[in-house]
Amino acid sequence: MSEQKERIKVLGAGIFSLILVLGVARFSYTPLLPLMQRQAGLGVAAAGWLAAINYAGYLSGAIIASLISDLVLKDRLYRIGMVLAIVSTAVMGLTTDITIWAISRYVAGLSAAAGMLLGTGLILNWLIRHNHRSELGIHFAGIGLGIAGCSAAVMLFSPWLDWRQQWFAFTALGCLLLVPALRWLPRPDPSGLTTTGQKMQDHPPSPLYLRVFMAAYFCAGFGYVVSTTFIVAIVNKLPGLAGQGNLVFLAIGLGAAPACINWDFIARRTGDLNALILAAVLQIVGILLPVVVGGLTATLFGALLFGGTFIGMVSLVLSMAGRYYPTRPAKMMGKMTLSYGTAQIIGPAITGSLASQLGSYNAGLYVAAGVMAVGTLLLLVLKVVETRDARHALAPVA
């Protein structure tokens, strides 16, 4: 029973760390964006660039994660990242200087990588070492809870607090989340053995598989980032939906919270790649519903669908990466996230530029859906590559 309690605490540390680095430090920017545009003079193009800089920080963190093999160093950087999440959140409320905001968003991106990659890798390593299922659905519930929580908080705070005070309120919330995020995650065991004494071995995929996989994940990153960054502003400008943006962002979070657990079950029955293909197709539908069908009902349904799929794809991909490299799970996670993160820099910048030229964010959603369609085709190609690799692995050596 104590082992099960320890597992719940470790997964709890992961959930709280993701709420901190993604809900507080990163995604609170999305529901606060319209408020900052009204009250702090933040322009449309500048808003897009701040989002892009945030993802540049995330990408930098992914590069660092992909290069580090030392579990003890990863643990130290994870803990530093949790503290930086709080500092970067507080700085957003201290100034209206665009340069300082940019530095703050970059640091928030670094802290997000610490939680998403280093923290996730440490947790997956702990699960495998203690002979638990190498699934991350419960852990990744923290992303959906973070999105829903920050959106609900902005809806709750807005009648009483201005944009600056809300950043400080998020900072206070972050301080509460910091305690379990640090205390409940045990220090790592670098021995490379499970608790029953078995050696943990890596099983890397073929170079072709990895390249196609990274390209597909790039497309997933592009599809995800446009909606999560701009959905509040997009919905507020749709006919008859003014002021409903935060409600829709809340729906994304509510859709995301249980999604990873659901996709773990789906993947057990269909296989990881089939589950990814299904999630990608449903995500395209979720992206397009607000602009193709319109109206609050279709937009909320699209948000639930989007939230229930984008995070499922992240969870499945990072779980697969961790199973390929159980002794150093953040290594392939970092490489995959480099691909995802590059799309996260390009996506907001393109969408912000299109919005300032066309006066509407809608084109960004169409582009995101198109890129996701390409990603779905690449996942189908990946199934062919997987079959080829399996055949080669079984072929007798000449």
What's the confidence (pLDDT) of residue 194? 66
The answer to whether 369 touches 282, Cβ cutoff 8 Å, is no
Distance (Å, whole) CA 119 – CA 114: 6
3-state secondary structure the chain: CHHHHHHHHHHHHHHHHHHHHHHHHHHCHHHHHHHHHHHCCCCHHHHHHHHHHHHHHHHHHHHHHHHCCCHHHHHHHHHHHHHHHHHHHHHHCCCCCHHHHHHHHHHHHHHHHHHHHHHHHHHHHHHHHCCCCCCCHHHHHHHHHHHHHHHHHHHHHCCCCCHHHHHHHHHHHHHHHHHHHHHCCCCCCCCCECCCCCECCCCCCCHHHHHHHHHHHHHHHHHHHHHHHHHHHHHHCCCCCCCCHHHHHHHHHHHHCCHHHHHHHHHHHHCHHHHHHHHHHHHHHHHHHHHHCCCHHHHHHHHHHHHHHHHHHHHHHHHHHHHHCCCCCHHHHHHHHHHHHHHHHHHHHHHHHHHHHHCCCHHHHHHHHHHHHHHHHHHHHHHHHHHHHHHHHHCCCC
For 9, left (φ over 0), alpha (ψ -120 to 50), or beta? alpha
What's the confidence (pLDDT) of residue 1? 47
Q: Select from 30, 10, 86 the least CA-distant residue to 227.
A: 30
The one-letter amino acid code at 266 reads I
pLDDT by residue for the chain (398 residues), tens only, comes to 477 788 889 999 999 999 999 999 988 888 888 889 888 888 888 888 898 898 889 889 988 888 888 888 999 999 999 999 999 999 999 988 999 999 999 999 999 999 988 998 899 888 888 877 767 778 888 888 888 888 889 888 888 899 999 999 999 999 999 999 999 998 887 766 666 667 767 788 889 999 999 999 999 999 888 877 777 777 887 778 787 887 887 888 888 878 888 898 999 899 999 999 999 999 999 989 888 887 888 889 998 999 899 888 988 998 888 888 877 777 788 888 888 878 877 887 788 788 778 877 778 888 889 999 999 999 999 999 999 888 887 766 44
| Residue whose entry in the numeric block shows the structure tokens 């947790």 | 123
Classify residue 240 as exposed, middle or buried by CB count within 10 Å of its CB (0-12, 13-18, 19+). Answer: exposed
Count, residues in the chain = 398
User: In the chain, what are the domain boundaries?
Assistant: 2-185+199-394
Provide the β-strand partners of residue 193: 199
The answer to whether 248 touches 231, Cβ cutoff 8 Å, is yes
Distance (Å, whole) CA 81 – CA 84: 5
Whole-Å CA distances, 236 to 46, 77, 241: 18, 38, 6
pLDDT, tens digit (0-9, with 9 covering 90-100), for 237-279: 777 878 788 788 788 888 887 888 889 899 989 999 999 999 9
Q: Which two tokens stand for residue 82?
A: 């949790």
Q: Select from 208, 397, 368 the least CA-distant residue to 284.
A: 368
Classify residue 87 as exposed, middle or buried by CB count within 10 Å of its CB (0-12, 13-18, 19+). Answer: middle
What's the confidence (pLDDT) of residue 25? 93
The one-letter amino acid code at 11 reads L
Distance (Å, whole) CA 117 – CA 64: 10
Distance (Å, whole) CA 240 – CA 294: 9
pTM of model > 0.95: no
What's the confidence (pLDDT) of residue 16? 96
pLDDT, tens digit (0-9, with 9 covering 90-100), for 275-312: 999 999 999 999 898 888 878 888 899 989 998 998 88
Q: Which two tokens stand for residue 45?
A: 């193009």
What's the confidence (pLDDT) of residue 193? 63
Distance (Å, whole) CA 246 – CA 34: 10
Domain 2-185+199-394 has CATH 3.40.50.1440: no
Distance (Å, whole) CA 93 – CA 167: 5
